[in-house]
Amino acid sequence: MDRNTPVIELKGVGEKTRKLFEKLNIFTVADLLSFYPRDYENFREPVSISHAGAGEVCALRAAVAGIPNEKRVRNLHILNVNISDGTGNMQLTFFNMQFLKKTLKKGGYYIFRGTVQTRGNIKIMEQPKIYTMEEYGKLTDRLNPRYSLTKGLTNQAVQKAVKQALSVCPPEEEFYGKEFLRTYGLMGAEDALHAVHFPEDMEQLVQARQRLVFDEFFAFLFLMRQNKEFTEGIENCFPMFETADTVRFLEQLPFPLTRAQKRVWGEIRDDLGSPCCMNRLIQGDVGSGKTVLALLALLMTAANGYQGALMAPTEVLATQHFETISEYANGGCPVLKPILLVGSMTAKEKKEAYGKIASGEANLVIGTHALIQGKVQYKSLALVVTDEQHRFGVRQREQLAEKGEKPHILVMSATPIPRTLAIILYGDLHISVVDELPANRLPIKNCVVNTAYRAKAYEFIEKEVRAGRQAYVICPQVEEGELDDLENVVDYTEKLRGRLSPDIRVAYLHGKMRPGDKNRIMEEFAAKEIDVLVSTTVIEVGINVPNATVMMVENAERFGLAQLHQLRGRVGRGGYQSYCIFVSTKENKETMERLQILNQSNDGFYIASQDLKLRGPGDLFGIRQSGEFSFRIGDIYNDAGMLQKASAAIDALLLGDPRLELQEHMALRKHLENVSANSVDFRSI
Ligand code: ADP
Ligand code: MG
């Protein structure tokens, strides 16, 4: 068995588990091993009931006091059990777990683990996990990995498979030299892999994670450096002039451009007319008005007789852009002939689109990355704009180059990054910053609350809906069981429908839905046929529904602040007063304080850096700041230091051996080739 072996050959992995793994994109043992835990659970020694504080996850060693009490509410079976440990009592509640009635005998001692809540003077725990003393003893004082699961797959099953894979696969060759490891203070690759799944302690875990983060950034930056030859100093094959079309468009726009927008538009215009091909990044906070800038560039392209493409990360966004732009085209931009090209279109529709693109009948193609792949032949592709897709990847550029196309490239990103990091991440791009929000914006009102506030929040949402507005509610997971104790989109939607008046239309959206369904829901929301949209963070990027005024985030403590800031950017996009309600399940002081940072600033990077200051390194596991850069394990905010280190390491390495030809670099080269062939992880490469 080696890393290329299919997972089904592991003991205990049958056809059923194989299918579940497949859902998580795990096919081979290597995939399994790089399926890193999303966080770690620390099973601490049990505490006494009198010391168990509200909002804390803890284990209690207690005896069942009295006979369990059963009741039924519609389909729900509820079992209440009192426990006691001499210091106090607690009431446990179990749902649909009838069988426990027999297990939990009066006087029996168990360990119960869950989140402590209070109801009046009574301490309660819902759905705690039950362990025997022996079982629990085996878990204590270890960091137990928790994986992102899918329905039907247990954490236990993943753990077992990983453990087995680690023990039966022969170790892989270390691809950095000893000297290199020492210089950059890195743990060996094999040790890191073992430790990231089954760490002995926090210190080891931090080390392991750093090594893996380093590797990921290193490979990413390496590919990017290679890419430079595709982008530096390419002559402008599509020189353009400004025409009356853009001027007229600006006159017809219902608002004047902000000063920042004007400046950036000037930079783009200059690029398009200059002797060198444009390669520019527009960075601007959510709502700063980047779309108009893209549209201006695309309009100029069309007016010069060329074609442009606008690429979005999701079909939902692409469709939304298509609709906005079609309106402009039908209104004041007759020269623009937009067309939509997305994966969920039928073969016939696609074929028709290909035809129009090849003939030049369509001069603006809007879609997902499918629009620069394979079958699509352009007549004269002069500009590619990517929205919210930070890195227009190496692959995509290579694909274009292979077709003999060297279009101008414009990348738009809402991820706020300080200049030093931007230069590393976007080394090959010129950077424009839209550092000003349109003047008609009212600042968003934020509040950070605990779960007791939910009822009020729902009332508030109802009031806004009655006033004609719409709301988002964000939950951290898609379906039950991925991680316990967290709200999930599907069940939450049901609950919410029960809580709000029946005429309020509630729907849900998540990343695992079929693209066509996602589009439909988003379109309905944009058309105001849905009042409240329950969603995962898929709506984080780019969605523009100015009529939405409430953003409620459940389990807000699970999100990085920078990510919450991005979510907040989905409201406050029109002239209406907008509100964010961050609901935290943890009531402790630090969590609340941390979330309060969102009240202090509107600057995404400031927010992320404050978040970092308040948390320790061990605190960061499982928290992602950047939804945009989808690295597998690294995070540009949390791991900014590692990013700098990897960048310096590449500089030093390539200085001595620019093509990695030395014998001592063979293993590294092989590794990088391997990564680049499988680099689906970087969403955009
Ligand atoms: P983002 O930078 O997040 O992509 P958008 O381009 O989606 O922002 O713009 C957000 C909203 O602001 C849109 O409804 C857009 O029409 C509007 N908008 C853009 N520029 C201006 C401006 N200068 N004045 C007023 N509203 C603007
Ligand atoms: Mg946008």
- Mind listing the pLDDT tens digit for each residue in 62-117? 999 988 899 888 778 899 999 999 899 999 999 888 888 888 888 899 999 998 88
The reply to whether 418 and 452 lie within a common domain is no
The reply to whether 27 and 51 lie within a common domain is no
The reply to whether 6 and 50 lie within a common domain is no
Does the CA dihedral 104-109-111-114 come out positive or negative?
positive
CB distance 458 to 500 below 8 Å:
yes
In sequence order, what DSSP letters do the residues of 73-109 get, joined into one string? ETTEEEEEEEEE-SS-EEEEEEES-TTHHHHS-TT-E
The reply to whether 159 and 125 lie within a common domain is no
CA of residue 230 to ligand 2 center, whole Å: 27
- Mind listing the pLDDT tens digit for each residue in 150-169? 888 889 899 999 999 999 99
DSSP code of residue 583? E
* Residue 212 included in any domain: no
**Which ligand is nearest to the Cα of residue 284, counting in written order?**
1
pLDDT over 90 at 18, yes or no: yes
**Which ligand is nearest to the Cα of residue 283, counting in written order?**
1
Closest atom of ligand 1 to CA, residue 324: 16
Pairing of strands 548-553, 470-474: parallel
CA of residue 302 to ligand 2 center, whole Å: 21
Q: Which amino acid is at 197?
A: H
Q: How far apart are CA 87 and CA 60, in angstroms?
A: 11
CA of residue 292 to ligand 2 center, whole Å: 9
Residue 299 has a pLDDT of 96
Closest atom of ligand 1 to CA, residue 574: 14
pLDDT band for position 417 (cuts 50, 70, 90): confident
The reply to whether 255 and 367 lie within a common domain is yes
Q: Which of 426-435, 479-488, 653-662 has the lowest mean pLDDT?
A: 479-488
The reply to whether 281 and 427 lie within a common domain is yes
Give the residue whose CA is nearest to atom 24 of ligand 1. 438
The reply to whether 422 and 555 lie within a common domain is no
Average pLDDT in the chain = 86
CA of residue 310 to ligand 2 center, whole Å: 12
Residue 680 has a pLDDT of 41
Q: How far apart are CA 428 and CA 423, in angstroms?
A: 8
Closest atom of ligand 1 to CA, residue 293: 6
For the entire predicted model, the pTM comes to 0.72
Mean pLDDT over 351-372 rounds to 90
Mean pLDDT over 197-217 rounds to 92
Mean pLDDT over 462-488 rounds to 80
Residue 260 has a pLDDT of 95
Residue 72 has a pLDDT of 87
pLDDT band for position 485 (cuts 50, 70, 90): low
Structural domain ending residue among the three candidates 601, 634, 654: 601
The reply to whether 35 and 158 lie within a common domain is yes
CA of residue 320 to ligand 2 center, whole Å: 10
Q: What CATH number is associated with residue 415? A: 3.40.50.300
The reply to whether 20 and 102 lie within a common domain is no
Residues lining ligand 1, CB < 6 A? 255, 257-258, 261, 284, 286-292, 414, 438, 440, 544, 546, 573
Max mean pLDDT range (333-337, 405-409, 412-416): 333-337
Compare 417 and 40 and report the one with higher pLDDT.
40
Distances (CA, A) of 483 to 138, 147, 248: 21, 8, 53
Give the residue whose CA is nearest to atom 19 of ligand 1. 289
Q: How far apart are CA 52 and CA 59, in angstroms?
A: 9
Closest atom of ligand 1 to CA, residue 256: 23
Q: Report the residue among 296, 328, 567, 573 best suited for mutation to probe ligand 1: largest number of ligand atoms under 8 A from its CB.
A: 573
- Mind listing the pLDDT tens digit for each residue in 45-67? 899 999 888 878 899 999 999 88
* Residue 673 included in any domain: no
Closest atom of ligand 1 to CA, residue 258: 23
Mean pLDDT over 546-550 rounds to 94
**Which ligand is nearest to the Cα of residue 318, counting in written order?**
2
Q: Which amino acid is at 146?
A: R
Distances (CA, A) of 669 to 174, 223, 675: 12, 11, 10
pLDDT band for position 314 (cuts 50, 70, 90): confident
pLDDT over 80 at 191, yes or no: yes
Compare 603 and 324 and report the one with higher pLDDT.
324
Range of the domain at 519: 445-601
Q: Report the residue among 544, 565, 578, 602 best suited for mutation to probe ligand 1: largest number of ligand atoms under 8 A from its CB.
A: 544
CA of residue 266 to ligand 1 center, whole Å: 18
pLDDT band for position 436 (cuts 50, 70, 90): confident
pLDDT over 60 at 2, yes or no: yes
Give the residue whose CA is nearest to atom 23 of ligand 1. 257
CA of residue 321 to ligand 2 center, whole Å: 9
**Which ligand is nearest to the Cα of residue 296, counting in written order?**
1
* Residue 350 included in any domain: yes
Mean pLDDT over 598-612 rounds to 76
CB distance 337 to 362 below 8 Å:
yes
CA of residue 291 to ligand 1 center, whole Å: 7
**Which ligand is nearest to the Cα of residue 389, counting in written order?**
2
The domain tally of the chain equals: 4
pLDDT over 50 at 17, yes or no: yes
Give the residue whose CA is nearest to atom 12 of ligand 1. 289
Pairing of strands 338-341, 143-146: unpaired
The reply to whether 113 and 257 lie within a common domain is no
The reply to whether 50 and 64 lie within a common domain is yes
Give the residue whose CA is nearest to atom 15 of ligand 1. 289
- Mind listing the pLDDT tens digit for each residue in 365-389? 999 877 777 678 899 999 999 887 6
Q: Report the residue among 250, 265, 291 best suited for mutation to probe ligand 1: largest number of ligand atoms under 8 A from its CB.
A: 291
Mean pLDDT over 542-562 rounds to 86
Give the residue whose CA is nearest to atom 17 of ligand 1. 289
pLDDT band for position 183 (cuts 50, 70, 90): very high
pLDDT over 70 at 627, yes or no: no
pLDDT over 80 at 194, yes or no: yes
Give the residue whose CA is nearest to atom 18 of ligand 1. 289
CA of residue 108 to ligand 1 center, whole Å: 63
pLDDT over 70 at 628, yes or no: no
Residue 357 has a pLDDT of 94
Mean pLDDT over 12-35 rounds to 92
Closest atom of ligand 1 to CA, residue 288: 2
Residue 685 has a pLDDT of 27
Q: What CATH number is associated with residue 97? A: 2.40.50.140
Q: Provide the token pair at 629.
A: 């850069």
> Percent of the chain at pLDDT above 70?
90
Residue 607 has a pLDDT of 81
CA of residue 319 to ligand 2 center, whole Å: 13
pLDDT band for position 574 (cuts 50, 70, 90): confident
* Residue 337 included in any domain: yes
* Residue 609 included in any domain: no
Residue 273 has a pLDDT of 95
CA of residue 316 to ligand 2 center, whole Å: 12
pLDDT band for position 307 (cuts 50, 70, 90): very high
CB distance 312 to 385 below 8 Å:
no
CA of residue 559 to ligand 1 center, whole Å: 26
Give the residue whose CA is nearest to atom 25 of ligand 1. 438
Q: How far apart are CA 457 and CA 593, in angstroms?
A: 20
Structural domain ending residue among the three candidates 386, 414, 434: 434
pLDDT over 90 at 562, yes or no: no
Q: How far apart are CA 257 and CA 410, in angstroms?
A: 19
* Residue 612 included in any domain: no
Structural domain ending residue among the three candidates 541, 572, 601: 601
Residue 684 has a pLDDT of 32
Closest atom of ligand 1 to CA, residue 544: 7
CA of residue 342 to ligand 1 center, whole Å: 24
* Residue 661 included in any domain: no
CA of residue 212 to ligand 2 center, whole Å: 32
The reply to whether 7 and 86 lie within a common domain is no
Mean pLDDT over 424-452 rounds to 83
Query: How far out from the chain centre does Cα 352 lie?
Result: 34
CB distance 280 to 419 below 8 Å:
no
Compare 138 and 628 and report the one with higher pLDDT.
138
* Residue 572 included in any domain: yes
Q: Which of 288-292, 437-441, 596-600, 673-677 has the lowest mean pLDDT?
A: 673-677
Compare 390 and 368 and report the one with higher pLDDT.
368
Q: How far apart are CA 372 and CA 341, in angstroms?
A: 10
Q: Report the residue among 250, 251, 255 best suited for mutation to probe ligand 1: largest number of ligand atoms under 8 A from its CB.
A: 255
**Which ligand is nearest to the Cα of residue 434, counting in written order?**
1
**Which ligand is nearest to the Cα of residue 287, counting in written order?**
1
Q: What CATH number is associated with residue 37? A: 1.10.150
Q: How far apart are CA 128 and CA 162, in angstroms?
A: 26
Mean pLDDT over 342-352 rounds to 89
